[in-house]
Amino acid sequence: EPDELRDTLFERLQTISGLRGTVYIAKEGINAQFAVPTGELDNLIRVFGRKNYEDIGGGCLPFDAFEKNPPNMGNVVDGGTPTFDRLIVRTRDYILRDGITFDDKESEDSKLDWSDAGIELDPPQWDEQLRQRKNIQLLDCRNKYESDQGSFVSAKPLNTQTFGETWEVLDSQVKSQSLDPSEPVYIFCTGGIRCVKVGAYLKQHLGFDDVRSLRHGIIGYERWDGDDSLVSDNDDGNSGSDDAQDNQGGRDSLWRGDNFLFDKRRFHDTSKKES
């Protein structure tokens, strides 16, 4: 139960000196971001492992959070860098409120399985496939004000104002044949959470056979794409640059513009300048 897990997690995480961040717990999953003191990462990962009643200092979840997906690791920064103010662990009705409804919304069959959302591509795979494919179906699953700041080359924005508008837009694009369920579709968002729900909807409701998302989202791509030169976010909450060039063989980056962020997390500046 979320309430019980919240209390257990908070108690265990408090034992990690200097840990700050936010954890949201819902029946559909867990979302967490941390600023972790150096030397404490192994302890943090252990907390999010599968519960073992014979190991009091082991995991406290009914599953191993990193069994299938490794944590999205950031970079070592100065301790005075603004990140999170304190440690917060809260329950929510949803990790991400989606507004999805179906005609048979009272039926259990209408619920989507978030574990069936297509395949995730690591940044090198993502970059290679986007460069190789022509006439690619590449969807920017963020809202319009985010897409306007920056996006991948050839990406098609959904131009939504809220995430809840996504489903009507996708339905319309399939109906108008601007999206083809028989062809691979590539999807991305800031950190990957929205793509879980979009991927599940595309596969299970709209009949797409091949859905591919960017593991850890734009943040993960920018981290791989650059040279680990990091700066803190500027006053309007953006990162990146208009003319990005990566360190991957000297090729131009496929990302153009800024990555809009909602918090004080660190990010990669592809211009190698302070933003």
Q: Tell whether pTM > 0.95.
A: no
Q: Which of 38, 98, 97 is nearest to 73 (CA)?
A: 38
Q: What angle do CA 248, 189, 34 make, to 5 degrees?
A: 85
Q: Which of 248, 225, 238, 47 is nearest to 148 (CA)?
A: 238
Beta bridge partners of 211: 185
- DSSP E strands in the chain: the ranges are 20-26, 29-35, 87-91, 119-121, 137-140, 150-152, 156-157, 185-188, 211-214, 230-231, 240-241, 255-258, 267-268
Which pLDDT belongs to residue 265?
47
Instruction: Quickly tell me which residue has 């967490």 as its tokens.
Output: 32
Q: Does residue 68 surpass a pLDDT of 60?
A: yes
Which pLDDT belongs to residue 51?
81
Which pLDDT belongs to residue 236?
35
Q: Give start and end residues of each alpha helix (H) in 63-122.
A: none
Mean pLDDT across the chain = 84
Q: Which of 120, 148, 117 is nearest to 213 (CA)?
A: 120
Query: Which of 63-72, 225-234, 238-247, 254-263 holds the top average pLDDT?
Result: 254-263
Q: Mind listing the pLDDT tens digit for each residue in 255-273?
A: 999 998 765 444 444 444 3
